[in-house]
Amino acid sequence: MENYLVSARKYRPATFDTVVGQGALTETLKNAIATNKLAHAYLFCGPRGVGKTTCARIFAKTINCLNLTPSGEACNSCESCVAFNEQRSYNIHELDAASNNSVEDIRQLVDMVRIPPQIGKYKVYIIDEVHMLSTAAFNAFLKTLEEPPAHAVFILATTEKHKILPTILSRCQIYDFNRISVKDIVDHLIGVAKQENVTVEPEALNVIALKADGGMRDALSIFDQTVSFTRGNITYKAVLENLNVLDYEYYFSLTDAFLSNDVVNSLLLYNQILEQGFEGGQFITGLTSHFRDLLVSKDEVSLPLLQVGASIRSRYLEQAKRCSSKMLFSGMKLCTECDLNLRVSKNKRLLIELTLIQLAQLTQEETEGSRPSGLKNNIKPINKATQATESQVPTQTQGGVTNASKAAELHDTKVSYNPAPITPQKVTTSSAKDKPAHDGGVADFLKGTGPAKRKLPSVKVGDLGVSIKREQNRQAIGETLVANAATKQEAKNSSTFNESDLNFQWQSYANRMPIEQKAFAVRMQAMRVTLLDAHNFEMVVDNELVARDFSELRPSIESFMRKALQNDFVTMQVRVSEANENNRAYSRTDKYQLMIEKNKFLNDFRNEFGLEFN
């Protein structure tokens, strides 16, 4: 039986030209070899499976080739190339730093560096996963890496560049490998499929490329797995089944349900997805990506960002025309919030179903009587403005006397006095000519132009202590009501406060800031603001950049302060401190020193009880 070799090893690139998706890096390496400008140390970093170790091997083989081709590639026929291809070359040494990360391993490597090559010009040392070396091993390697022998070339490869010491980075030429695009992976898989006599559907390869997440090695491994599952006939449905990936059809159907405000169908589709074994987090992530692809499809300029096959691309373009940008933005925001809350939610299904209900109502018209399709009841919110207006209008009793308690409510209400017309219980007219030109409302009542025969009500406002007795006092009483309401409103919105109240609310605002503005919150918690006069306060910062940032937050801070301090005239000023002005935040020690200055016995109290800062 012939030994089977996986595609990732069988089709591993042997020349720079066959490396997929790293054209800029391979061209730079070829030019360095052609001009004989080789560095003594290289660092290849990037995600897994993008060609770091492969390029290191090709580079080591090429610089030792005795007969380079005109294109700068290895000839594969000289003694050095043949030895490399047969894996018996003594000029190339590979070290796995994940399992050889001690100081002793590096010392053995340093001893090997001293021996010159027998064939070729250079000895190349490839250290894979170099970030796994210990700190002591890195330090032992520094001197040799900085000044190696002329025949030694080091190639370090890693997926986590941030874990490498800066002293190592400064001694290397750094090459950052990129993720391989979906198109490049699909094109390469099509070539592999032709050589393996495998029939494939382009959409199936597109799903494999997306699943590989920019890694060619992962793509080839998934390709081999799918070939075994389908016995050489790779279809779109077979790939979805084998890789446990949600079909695009579910997301298209869900979006159609959202556009038609169909809540019930949305929940049923989600139930079908759960019955197939998919997790809620995977579903929400896919739905967010679907909204993103629809948003990308709305503009021809951003259309290249849509990484799907040709047949599905047309469906995205068609559905994107029916979706508004506002709906897609809101949908992405809801899905993102749901994804974040899933980690701490105890009822994940209910959380996702609530999100689907919200998504199904995004396009619902905000008109009275509208209701989402599939919901039997539509709970209308209470109209607070209407409720407040109705509560301030005095109601007329059957006996024609205005309710005095309603008039008292008018005195305590926060809104201005704007009474609605009071319709008489019964108006008897003999003909159209005898009908008055007015309705006998409150406006006519205040002006004294109401019906002559109408029985005048008696109003007693308890707080004001005023009674309406005669018709000629109507105008004065109305003006008194309006003036008292306005005076009460003005007095309530200009409450006095001191600097202590101001700083308390300042800290309260800082504690309520979202996690995205944590830097601002920490800075605000460490400072105190100064009250300049009855309504204005000042915050002092140490540079113009911070002053500009807080100036952008000024409307939000002022709005919060006005509401919290019950003063509509509060304003904030931002000032940059002078050069000789101390504006740093007080530490606990500084605060303690200030307290000692005010009370010298505090230090004795601390020493007496042996108190310490924690």
pTM beyond 0.75, yes or no: no
- Residues 47 and 99 placed together within one structural domain of the fold: yes
Task: Give the domain CATH number at 339.
Answer: 1.20.272.10
Q: What are phi and psi of 126, to 5 degrees?
A: -100, 115
Based on the domain organization, do 301 and 342 belong to the same domain? yes
CATH of the domain at 209: 1.10.8.60
Q: How many domains does the chain have?
A: 5
Q: Kindly report the backbone phi and psi dihedral angles of residue 39, in degrees, each rounded to the nearest multiple of 5, phi listed first.
A: -85, 165
Query: Residue 184 corresponds to which tokens in the numbers above?
Result: 């490049």
Domain that holds residue 65: 7-176
| Closest by CA position to 181, among listed 139, 146, 214 | 214
Q: Round to whole Å and give the CA distance between 313 and 319.
A: 10
Indicate if 451 and 352 belong to the same structural domain: no
The total number of residues shown for the chain amounts to: 614
DSSP 546-565: HHHHHHHHHHHHHHHHHHHH
Same domain, 472 and 412: yes
CATH of residue 56: 3.40.50.300
Q: Are 444 and 514 found together in one domain? A: no
The one-character DSSP state at 260 is: T
Name residue 611's amino acid.
L
**Longest Cα pair distance anywhere in the chain, in angstroms?**
129
Does residue 484 sit in the same domain as residue 503?
no
Residue 411, domain member (yes or no): yes
pLDDT at res. 245:
81
pLDDT of residue 381: 44
Domain membership of residue 565 (yes or no) is: yes
User: Same structural domain for residues 255 and 313?
Assistant: yes
Give the per-residue pLDDT at 613: 61
Residue type, 195: Q
End position of a domain, from candidates 332, 359, 386 = 359
C-beta neighbour count of 510 within 10 angstroms: 18
Let me know whether 11 and 157 are in one domain. yes
Where among 492, 512, 529 does a domain terminate?
A: 492
Query: What is residue 196's predicted lDDT score, i.e. its pLDDT?
Result: 87
Domain membership of residue 379 (yes or no) is: no
Same domain assignment for residues 285 and 226: no
Judge if 16 and 138 occupy the same domain.
yes
The secondary element (H helix, E strand) that includes residue 282 is: helix 280-297
Q: Looking up tokens 């974040």, which residue turns up? A: 340
The pLDDT score that the predictor gives to residue 333 is 92
Together in a domain, 457 and 513: no
Q: What pLDDT does residue 211 have? A: 85
**Does any domain span residue 429?**
no
The four Cα atoms 501, 502, 508, 512 give a dihedral, to 10 degrees, of 150
Q: Quick check: is 609 in a domain?
A: no
Report yes or no on 204 lying in a domain.
yes
Single-letter code of the amino acid located at 363: T
Q: Which helix (H) or strand (E) holds 158?
A: strand 152-158
What CA–CA distance (Å, rounded) separates 179 from 209? 11
Residue 137 falls inside a structural domain? yes
Q: Which residues of the chain have a pLDDT value below 70?
A: 1-2, 309-310, 365-492, 579-588, 590, 613-614
Residue ending a domain, among 176, 196, 227, is 176
Residue at 451 is within a domain: yes
Closest by alpha carbon to 477, among 486, 468, 490, 485? 468
* φ, ψ (nearest 5 deg) of residue 494: -135, 45
**Six token digits for residue 613:** 């800062």
Q: How much is the pLDDT for 467?
A: 45
Same domain as 23, residue 140: yes
